[in-house]
Amino acid sequence: MTKGVVVKPILSTEFSSRGQVDLIDMQSMSYRTFKWIMVYQDHLTKFCVLRPLTSKRAAEVAFQLADIFLLLGAPVILQSDNGSEFTAQIITELRSLWPELSIVHGKPRHPQSQGSVERTNGDIKDMLVAWMSDNNSTDWATGIIFVHFSKNSAYHAGIKRSPYAAMFGVNTRVGLMSTSLPQEIISCLQSEQDLITTLWHQLPASESQRQQAERMVKRSRTELVAGEIGDNIALPIPLVDRGRGDPRNILGVIVSRSMNDQYRVATKSGILKGSYSRNQFDICPERLLKESDINNDIEISLREAVIKSSFSGGQGFVKCSCNGPKKCQTNRCKCFKSKQLCNSRCHNSLNCVNK
């Protein structure tokens, strides 16, 4: 009987806690003296660096890794799928180049942790083939520079962002193409002075937009004066929550106000659930309800408050969405079950037997 693989994923908690190095064999299509591609990947951010190699000797791999480590920092653990002896030789070479360096090698051929860089190798091969086809070139030693950038710029499902964004905290930039300037303007720019002139002409539009926003905020503050605790308010009642003879608003009293300008409202029947923003109610010029008139002991929904103050029992949120002929004659229909007739808000079925 075939047994399943026991998966014990290795998790990294910070950048450079684990680095993974692997080699891609390009001997069948060597370019000049280059026959291998070295792939170095940070296990947490999935940020990878590619370098062309003339051989797979530990000394050459270590030299390229030293160049990467002196730029990005050296990991605590260096892992390779080429065996512990190969990794140990690399670390020995690295220490000869950088005596202060101290790292250890991870488990070789560990599928749960090495699988990430193996998938990266597959993506790099596919992207490199596409680059050579698009550029009609066999110079893959140059192509891996562009593949390296594209790979780190692409969204990674495992970390929910691109490796570049995980590494540097921002999305990749491609000069002026990363700005909001139109393509026809970018194509005309040649010098820094051209760019400054273009941006200066665009400032009035952004300044006008800022002024418009300030006017909107000012008008909002003027028309929607902040409420104070104890103020009487008129809170609109949704159509589905009130009966035909009920008023359109319910009278309440502001009982609290948060730092975010969210208000709690109490009625004669109790404190309404949830909070309300200033644009959801109107402040009454007179205080018709006093603190002694409201109930602070229970918390109820707006619908319950309307029903308790309604002369007709309130409309309530009862409607069905039954489809097909004669579907509203069992308890599966909300209207039929509550002994109410279906109305135009339910459906447009002419065959409804509960109208």
Q: Quick one: 79 exposed, middle or buried, by C-beta within 10 A (0-12, 13-18, 19+)?
A: buried
The predicted structure's pLDDT at residue 306: 86
> What pLDDT score does 13 carry?
76
Q: Domains plus CATH for the chain?
A: 18-168 (3.30.420.10), 232-309 (no CATH), 318-355 (no CATH)
Strand order in the sheet with 249-257: 282-283, 232-236, 249-257, 263-266, 271-272, 299-300
pTM of the model: 0.53
Q: What is the pLDDT of residues 53-103, one digit of tens each?
A: 999 999 999 999 999 999 999 999 998 877 778 888 999 999 999 999 999
Which residues, 6 or more positions from 22, have their beta carbon under 8 angstroms from its beta carbon?
Answer: 38, 39, 41, 80, 81, 82, 114, 117, 118, 121
Query: At which residue do the structure tokens 């990749």 appear?
Result: 172
| Residue whose tokens read 């970390």 | 159
Residue ranges of the chain with per-residue pLDDT less than 70: 1-10, 108-116, 200-208, 244, 311-318, 324-326, 344-345, 348-350
Tens-digit pLDDT profile for residues 22-64: 999 999 899 999 999 999 999 899 999 999 999 999 999 999 9
pLDDT given for residue 75 in this prediction = 93
Confidence (pLDDT) at 294? 87
